[in-house]
Structure formats: C-alpha cells, structure tokens
C-alpha cells in the first residue's frame, strides 16, 4: 500500500512562508526619486572635488603629464584605476567625463 504525500500541508507551509517574505519586503523602505537625485548630486560633487584636486594646471582637463596625485590615498587610486589607465594611454579627460565615469 502506497501512502500519498500530504501536498496540502506542504502548499500551506509554502504559502505561509511566501506571505512572510512578501510582508518583510513591504517593510523595506525604498528610496524615492528625490533621495536618489540627492545621492547622485552628492556623488557628483565629490567627484568634482577629486577632479579639481587632480587637475594640476587647473585647465579643466587631466592628462598623464598634467596630474597631481600627491596626497591621493591608495584606496582612491584603486577606485580611479580605470580612468588612470585611460589617461596613461595618452588621452585627456575633462571634468564632465570624469564625473560621468
């Protein structure tokens, strides 16, 4: 004689867990558009300050011959590594491009 599994019990347990997860998701506060814009603006301002610090001759562009890395932390250099690689290849980067990347 074969016993059937109690699918109703399993479905009820699954439904209860799903409801619990959905309830927890609703409790998480998602940022609104205003908060997102503020965060983007804050980051842009921070990158503009970093650019001004790096812009040795204050001409609005950074190149491999015109960059001031004095006082820049190792952590920040790691973050800026992709941009630095681009500059090493002979390119220049403007403030606007720097902030976008």
Q: Where do the structural domains in the chain lie, given as residue ranges?
A: 33-100
Task: Read off the tokens for 36.
Answer: 């997102």
* Residue 99 · residue 51 · CB < 8 Å: yes
* Residue 80 · residue 101 · CB < 8 Å: no
pTM exceeding the 0.75 threshold for the entire prediction: no
One digit per residue, pLDDT tens: the chain, 101 residues? 454 555 565 666 666 677 777 777 766 767 778 888 888 899 889 889 988 988 988 899 998 888 888 888 889 889 888 888 888 887 888 888 888 87
Burial class (CB in 10 A: 0-12, 13-18, 19+), 9: exposed
């Amino acid at each position: 004689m074969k016993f059937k599994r109690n699918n109703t019990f399993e479905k009820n347990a699954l439904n209860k867990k799903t409801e619990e997860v959905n309830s927890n998701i609703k409790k998480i506060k998602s940022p609104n558009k205003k908060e997102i814009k503020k965060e983007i603006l804050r980051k842009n301002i921070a990158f503009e300050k970093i650019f001004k610090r790096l812009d040795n001759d204050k001409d609005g562009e950074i190149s491999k011959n015109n960059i001031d890395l004095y006082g820049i932390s190792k952590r920040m250099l790691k973050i800026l590594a992709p941009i630095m690689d681009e500059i090493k290849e002979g390119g220049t980067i403007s403030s606007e491009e720097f902030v976008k990347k």
